[in-house]
Amino acid sequence: MKELIVLQVTIFVMIAVGFCMRKWKIVSAAGKGEITNLVLYLILPANIVTSFLVEFSKELVRDCVIILVISILIQAFCVIFGKLVYRKQPEDRRKNLEYATICPNSGFLGNPVAEGIYGAQGLMLASIYMIPQRIMMWSAGLSIYSDKTSGKGLAKSVLTHPCVIACLIGIVLLLTRVKVPNVILTPLKTLGRCNTAMSMMVVGMILADADLKTMFDRTILWFTVNRLVVIPLVIFLALRFPPVSELVRGDSVVLSAMPAGATTSMLAAKYDRDPEFAAKLVAFSTLLSLPAICLWTWIVSL
């Protein structure tokens, strides 16, 4: 419990730092985008690769396979859930709600939390968990806005994503037990240690750009409850009885309790699908995700 409290305080402090940096104009809007790219294309991939450099065991490989299957089932559930629950919403809002349901912010928020609770193995399993979600992001997710997807374009988007490449490299290193030279490993570990701080500061910058006075909306509140409470509760109850490890169960529940991903507002703006509503959806669910993550990390730790 003491470690969980330290983790949550650390997350809050890093988010507050990012919030202040953006509010005080120390970081511009363009700078926020560049920092986001830095995390996505360098720091997070380095963190993912080093997370696979753990002691090899049959149990670990089994956990990787199990969490991959669980993630696929969760993605299928979220697709059906989004289509059923939000089917009566206006078209533009419905598209944003469906996309945010199947593409939460598990990368920025989920990976640091998983690493903080479960260490390197937790981060490694979180990276495996994210593979189906990244595929959905560029296939079913993108088709919600564009109404079409290209098989070739999908394969290219997924296979060239830095986090997916890092995950594949990590799997090869785990299975082959190749010893990475210190001249390469040390810089990778140094970059990876920046992940929690940089990711949480980006979340703080997103919140700083939100107008909290106009953010409240009954539909947004409804989505936030579904995304942060209902979906992880279903996952938590569904995994109470199958013979899975506590690590797999905890990672799956925590990663399913994440707010709307930042790409929701980006794609809404690109395809002109009520981008203001999408931005509020991301900001409001991110704001309320902080106490929700505290609650779920406590529950799965019991």
pLDDT digits (tens, 9 = 90+) for 152-174: 665 666 667 787 788 888 888 87
Residue 100: pLDDT band (50, 70, 90) is: very high
pLDDT, mean of residues 123-150: 77
**CATH number belonging to the domain at 2-203+213-297, selected among 2.60.40.10, 3.60.150.10, 1.20.1530.20, 1.10.1040.10:** 1.20.1530.20
User: Residue 104: phi, psi to the nearest 5?
Assistant: -75, 175
Q: Is the pLDDT of residue 301 over 80?
A: no
Q: What is the pLDDT of residue 226?
A: 96
Between 10 and 220, name the one with better pLDDT: 220
| Mean pLDDT, residues 13-28 taken together | 90
pLDDT tens per residue, range 228-254 = 999 999 999 999 888 888 899 999 999
- 190 vs 142, residue with greater confidence: 190
pLDDT for 223 equals 96
Q: For residues 276-289, give the mean pLDDT.
A: 84
pLDDT of 154 reads 58
pLDDT exceeds cutoff 80 at 1: no
- 137 vs 14 pLDDT, higher one: 14
User: Which pLDDT band, with edges at 50, 70 and 90, does 269 fall under?
Assistant: confident
Instruction: Give the residue-averaged pLDDT of 258-269.
Output: 80
Neighbours of 119 (CB within 10 A): 13
Residue-level pLDDT at 157: 62
| Per-residue pLDDT, 249 | 92
Half-sphere exposure at residue 230, Cβ-oriented, CA atoms within 13 angstroms = 13
| 239 contacts 253 by C-beta, under 8 angstroms | yes
What average pLDDT does range 85-112 have in this prediction? Answer: 88
Confidence of residue 74 (pLDDT cuts 50, 70, 90): very high
Query: What whole-number percentage of the chain has pLDDT above 70?
Result: 91
In this structure, of 90-94, 115-119, 149-153, 207-211, the range with the lowest mean pLDDT score is: 149-153
At 153 the pLDDT is 63
Residue-level pLDDT at 158: 63
The whole-number average pLDDT for the span 206-218 is 76
Report the pLDDT value the prediction gives residue 32, as an integer from 0 to 100. 83
Looking at residue 147, its pLDDT comes to: 59
pLDDT-based confidence at 9, cuts 50/70/90?
confident
What pLDDT is attached to residue 230? Answer: 96
Q: Which is more confidently placed, 204 or 108?
A: 204
